[in-house]
Amino acid sequence: MSIHRRTFVTALGASLFAAGRARARELSVRVEADRSRLFVGDTLQYRVEITAEDVGRVPEPILPSALDQAFEVQGPFIGSSSHIVATGSRITRRETRTYTYELVPLRAGVFDLRAFVPGPGGTRIASNPLRVEVVGGAQAMAGAGSASAAPQADPTRDVHGFPKPTEPAGDVFVWAAVDRDEVYVGEQVNYTLDVYERNRFVNVQIRNLPSFKDFWTEELPEGQERRESVGGVPYRVHPGLRRALFPQRAGDLVIGSTEAVVGLRRIVRSPEVVVHVRPLPAKGQPKDFRPHNVGDFGIEATVDRRSVQQGEPLTLTVTVRGTGNVRFVDPDPWPALDGLRRYDPTVEVQTRVDLDGAGRMVIAGARRYKFLLIPERSGRLSIPAHSVTFFDPRTETYRTARTKPIEIEVTAGASGTETGEPGTIEQEGPDGEPMALMPIWTGDHLPRGRVREPWLTPKRWTAGMATVPLLVLAGHAVRLARERVLGPADARAAARARRMRRARLDRLATLVEADDRFYAELSALLHEVAVARIGPDAAGLPRDRLRRRLVDVGVPEDEVDRFDALMDACDAARFGGAAAGTVEERRKLAAEARELLLRGKLGRQVLR
């Protein structure tokens, strides 16, 4: 019986425990943070997530008491989601609500940030444990500035040496400061401008930045937004601007105040900043010292090759490197080069921001001069040492850095002659270097005239060139037209020749009276007709061959005989010494010739 009772009690307890467990599973809370270690003033994202199943209303979280004591809390920012979960035959509604807070630790320590939710019966359901370690003041600033920076011992200055405000000044103020109150002319001093705000303002704008008159300025990295405690009051700090300043003159130089507009109408101003600038010490200052050469510099010189041919260019690179106003650092006058012609250099400047041993931001970099050198004679030539003289403010002394001389081997050029073109006029430039440029025009009155385009413009040239083929085409067109209208040119020429021979034949009648011209004309006409009848190759043939050729082309022999007789008569009258005959005889000859040429085959196609 006792066993039964004990079993009953045990079962009852187990069932009650199981029921409680089941109830507890319906409501749970979980917390998380974006990091477990941070510094005073930093911002921690703290998230509480409450999950409830089949619960009418999701309860709000109960935050740990540490938040009230050691943190500034902003939020919560609430989000929620819900969904239906099916487990076997059971369907449940699961709702999740998240509460996100921004926590800013106000003091150092290790804090338990476990949260709770109210459970059934006035109980509290605890979240998972969460421990956060907060590291205190100066260490916090060192961590926020630069991991490589040394820990800052002075609590009134930040990691970069800028003084921090010590007294809170309302809910928003603009803080301006320089990292050093006293510097030399040309020595770097850094300026910072930050906006401190107690609350989150929607719109804060900086305007009317100081002009930094009497300073040469270089931009510095602005850093990140941070939290900072001023006199125990936490502020959110917006970095406004940071500048590296290089004072250009001695005296108390004032950097004016800057305005920040908060919201629409509220204006807050930064304090003015005074920098006491000392002149560079006169003791030990070299003659013609460049005032920009303040800092710590070194110099090096290199050539791209040490063995060249005479007249072949080589590049000499002189680099001044160090910390200071690198952009304007000026080496000492270039040394004279023996046997080398030097051209104006190209100059490159590269700057960067470094941290010095105390964590201060310093401008560093290199100013590089590239010279083109032309060896003018062969042999072993030396490029002397180049130097830069500067004032080192740390040691308060003037120092000079030098390169080592560079030897180059110059072999004779292909021609073996000195450089320089014959026939050019060598001038002396103001720096004493030879110039191969012809002198400028230096007349009293400038001749002038209007710009005149050449007559043969491209358009005119194109038109002229096109005219030639167009004229040729036009000539052909005219010829084709004439042939179409008047017939082929050969036929027209043959007809023209026939007309001319016929005219000569007709003219014989008028020459009968003139004995000396009659026979010559008759002989010439007969010969021309015979040649035309045979062809052009008959020109110049003797009489007997002419006869045979006439027979060959189909002229009857009796006509050839008559032709021969007429030619003989003409020859006898012209060359035989015989009497020229009477007019009647000549008239008879003309009639015979007319009969022969107009009626016989001899004159066919060539006379009619």
Partner 1 sequence: MGGRTGRWLRMWCLAALVAAIVVMWARPAAADAVDDAMARGAAAYAEGRYEDAREAFEEAASLLGEPNAIVAYNLGTTYAQLGDLGRATYYLTVATDPRTHPTPEIAERARANLNEVRRRAELVAAAEKAQLGRQASWWALLLDAARAPWVGWAALVSGFFALVVWFVRRKIARLARGGLGPAIIVVASVLYVVLGALHGLALRADATAPRGVLLGRTVTVYERPSRHAPEAFQAVGGAEVRIEDRVSGFVRVRLPGNLVGWVPASQVGRLDDLSVSVDAGGGGRSASRTVRAGSAAP
CB 192 within 8 A of CB 162: yes
The piece of 99-107, 405-413, 430-438, 545-553 that touches partner 1 (CB under 8 A) is 430-438
Q: If binding is defined by CB under 8 A, does position 336 make contact with partner 1?
A: no
Q: If binding is defined by CB under 8 A, does position 395 make contact with partner 1?
A: no
Nearer to partner 1, 90 or 448 (CB): 448
Question: Per DSSP, what are the bridge partners of residue 453?
Answer: none
Place of tokens 């125990």: 232
The single-letter DSSP state of residue 163 is B
Question: Per DSSP, what are the bridge partners of residue 98?
Answer: 49, 79
**Given 88, 454, 536, 577, the residue binding partner 1 (CB under 8 A):** 454
**Given 18, 349, 465, 478, the residue binding partner 1 (CB under 8 A):** 465
Q: If binding is defined by CB under 8 A, does position 370 make contact with partner 1?
A: yes
SS3 call for 445: coil
**Given 24, 209, 254, 471, the residue binding partner 1 (CB under 8 A):** 471
| Rounded Cα–Cα distance for residues 470 and 56 (Å) | 104
Nearer to partner 1, 498 or 601 (CB): 498
For the chain, the C-alpha Rg in angstroms (whole number) is 60
Nearer to partner 1, 16 or 437 (CB): 437
Distances 148 to 32, 144, 151, 355, 405 between C-alpha atoms, Å? 30, 11, 9, 9, 38
Nearest approach in angstroms of CB 421 to partner 1 is 8
Question: Per DSSP, what are the bridge partners of residue 39?
Answer: 135
Phi, psi (5° rounding) for residue 325? Answer: -80, 75
Q: If binding is defined by CB under 8 A, does position 458 make contact with partner 1?
A: yes
Nearest approach in angstroms of CB 474 to partner 1 is 11
Q: If binding is defined by CB under 8 A, does position 374 make contact with partner 1?
A: yes
Q: If binding is defined by CB under 8 A, does position 333 make contact with partner 1?
A: no
Nearest approach in angstroms of CB 406 to partner 1 is 16
The piece of 3-11, 142-150, 164-172, 444-452 that touches partner 1 (CB under 8 A) is 444-452
Q: Site for partner 1 (CB under 8 A): how many residues?
A: 45
What crossing angle do the helices spanning 515-534 and 543-552 adopt, rounded to 10°?
50
CB 518 within 8 A of CB 505: no
Q: If binding is defined by CB under 8 A, does position 438 make contact with partner 1?
A: yes
The piece of 100-108, 284-292, 319-327, 434-442 that touches partner 1 (CB under 8 A) is 434-442
**Given 13, 79, 231, 475, the residue binding partner 1 (CB under 8 A):** 475
Distances 346 to 297, 308, 368, 378, 495 between C-alpha atoms, Å? 20, 21, 8, 26, 89
Nearest approach in angstroms of CB 412 to partner 1 is 19
Q: Which amino acid is at 289?
A: F
- Residue of 467, 481, 242 whose CA lies nearest to 353: 242
Length of the chain: 608
The piece of 89-97, 403-411, 467-475, 552-560 that touches partner 1 (CB under 8 A) is 467-475
Q: If binding is defined by CB under 8 A, does position 488 make contact with partner 1?
A: no
DSSP 85-99: EEETTEEEEEEEEEE
Burial class (CB in 10 A: 0-12, 13-18, 19+), 162: buried
Nearer to partner 1, 261 or 374 (CB): 374
**Given 155, 279, 343, 595, the residue binding partner 1 (CB under 8 A):** 343
Q: If binding is defined by CB under 8 A, does position 462 make contact with partner 1?
A: yes
Q: Give CA 405 to chain center in angstroms.
A: 38
Which residues sit at the interface with partner 1, rule CB under 8 A? 313-315, 343-344, 346, 370, 372, 374, 421, 424, 429-431, 435-454, 456, 458, 461-462, 464-465, 467-468, 471-472, 475
